[in-house]
Chain A
Amino acid sequence: MRRGLGLSLIIAAGLAGGSRAPAAAQEPRLAGRLPDPVRVQVDALLDSARAAGLPTEPLVDRALEGASKRADGVRIVTAVRRLAGELGAARDALGLESSPAEVTAGASALRAGARAGDLHRLRVLRARQSVTVAAAVLADLVAVGVPPDTAAAAVIALARSADDATYLAFRRNVERDVALGASPVAALGVRLTATGGATAEYPGPRKP
């Protein structure tokens, strides 16, 4: 993939070049938190993401998390690179006009196991509305145990009709039902029906 190759070149240059590394903008918050070689790589990734129009805040956070947890440099760079890839994929699926919040939420959804096609459908179905909450709710549903395909189908089923408040109420209700002992998929089905979201697009959980 073009983007990946670009990153590799920058990183290779950074590693090989030492003081001759390209003068990427430096993220001040990484100062003193990461060893220099790691910091150079992360700055390069940030630079590339910025150039691609992707939000960099999540990447900085991820690097800082790794620093805080005393993870080794390779792991930190891998984590940042992985997230950058997800942000890029989310932006590809959601369109170039997507806001940073939408892209970030989309990346969470992909990490949760949604497919790029699911995000694309969300965008299409929601037309002018933001997909931030819908994508975030998808990730949250997976976090309480709903299989990714099922969560995606449910969120898509609501996409045309639900406003953000409805999505959030839906997620709260599913979480509450699960906490009271319902199985995640059962809770999802019940709440989806109650929200009026059961449609041809979501006749029920997909078989694996």
Chain B
Amino acid sequence: MRDGDRVVDRVVEMLKEPVRIDPVLDRRVMAELAQVPAPRRTTGIVALTGWLVRKRTIAVSPLGGLAAAAGIALAVLAGRAWVFPTAHHEPALTTTAAVSPGADTRAIQFVVLAPRASSVTLVGDFNDWDETATPMSRAVGNGLWSVTVPLAPGRYRYSFLVDGNRWEPDPEAPRALGDDFGRPNSVVTVGGS
């Protein structure tokens, strides 16, 4: 065995020695967790996987900035289905895009953190971009707004309208590419059979 290998072996031997971290870390972690929403399993009937919090969108989201400062995590969205439909639907001219609950729809929940907003509405392809159609409700005691919408399988662009005049994309969702009107949108894909 070469000298070099012996040296490296001794290095490795020392590096493998256990390290002791001050157990006070446990209390610090648990204390911080008290301010974090409880995680929920994101498998189940409706959702196949949850949205992931993307590091860069946390930094740039104006709504999330407040949350970060307060040490409150952005809400993890539950209830998102991800499988794109294999059933094709041929939209007729007279069909409205607004979806009413039917056999083929999934309940999709949209959540956003906006503690200083006085109103938040969900606007997108599924409600004909009508800003009066889907107002969101604020949970008591915190800045979380949410609404659950029945959606037929498909892919929808959407955005949040805050206080009637400010468009905010969903910090938890992928961006729609190429925004035509100067304000970016998000995309949600709903599974089908």
Which of B55, B129, B167, B176 contacts A179, CB < 8 Å? B55
B93 engages A164 (CB within 8 Å): no
Q: Is B83 an interface residue (CB 8 A)?
A: yes
Can you name the residue of chain A whose Cβ is closest to the Cβ of B173? A143
A111 engages B178 (CB within 8 Å): yes
Question: Which of B24-32, B136-144, B179-187 participates in binding chain A?
Answer: B179-187
Which of B88, B154, B177 contacts A142, CB < 8 Å? B177
Which of A64, A130, A133, A176 contacts B52, CB < 8 Å? A176
Interface size on A, residues (CB 8 A): 51
Q: A56-B93, A179-B52, A179-B53 are in contact. Are A61 and B157 (CB under 8 A)?
A: yes
Q: Is B189 an interface residue (CB 8 A)?
A: yes
B174 engages A175 (CB within 8 Å): yes
A57 engages B84 (CB within 8 Å): no
Considering the complex, which residues of chain B in the window 33-73 have a beta carbon less than 8 Å from any beta carbon of chain A? 48-49, 52-55
CA distance A100 to B95 in the complex (A): 15
* CB proximity of A160 to chain B, nearest CB, Å: 18
Give the tally of cross-chain contacts (CB within 8 A): 116
A65 engages B174 (CB within 8 Å): no
Q: A75-B180, A101-B89 are in contact. Are A144 and B189 (CB under 8 A)?
A: no
Q: For B123, what are the chain A residues with a Cβ–Cβ distance below 8 Å?
A: 68
A62 engages B89 (CB within 8 Å): no
B97 engages A100 (CB within 8 Å): no
Interface size on B, residues (CB 8 A): 42
What sequence of 0s and 1s flags, for each residue 129-165 of chain A, a beta carbon within 8 Å of any chain B beta carbon? 0101100100110111000000000000000000011
Which of B55, B129, B182 contacts A181, CB < 8 Å? B55
CA distance A142 to B128 in the complex (A): 26
Q: Is A3 an interface residue (CB 8 A)?
A: no
CA distance A120 to B90 in the complex (A): 22
A66 engages B86 (CB within 8 Å): no
Q: For A105, what are the chain B residues with a Cβ–Cβ distance below 8 Å?
A: 84, 155
Q: A55-B91, A164-B83 are in contact. Are A111 and B177 (CB under 8 A)?
A: yes
B55 engages A82 (CB within 8 Å): no
Q: For B148, what are the chain A residues with a Cβ–Cβ distance below 8 Å?
A: none
Considering the complex, which residues of chain A in the window 68-99 have a beta carbon less than 8 Å from any beta carbon of chain B? 68-69, 71, 75, 78-79, 82-83, 99
CA distance A62 to B179 in the complex (A): 10
Q: For A144, what are the chain B residues with a Cβ–Cβ distance below 8 Å?
A: 54, 174
CA distance A142 to B157 in the complex (A): 16
Q: 21 A-B contacts, Cβ less than 8 Å apart? A: A29-B97, A29-B128, A55-B91, A61-B128, A65-B181, A65-B185, A68-B129, A68-B161, A78-B180, A99-B90, A101-B88, A101-B154, A104-B155, A105-B84, A130-B88, A133-B84, A140-B174, A143-B177, A172-B82, A175-B174, A178-B54
Leading 5 A-B pairs by shortest Cβ distance? A79-B180, A179-B52, A68-B129, A57-B91, A64-B129
12 new A-B contacts at CB < 8 Å, known A65-B181, A143-B174: A28-B94, A65-B125, A71-B181, A101-B88, A133-B84, A136-B189, A142-B177, A143-B176, A144-B54, A164-B86, A176-B52, A179-B53
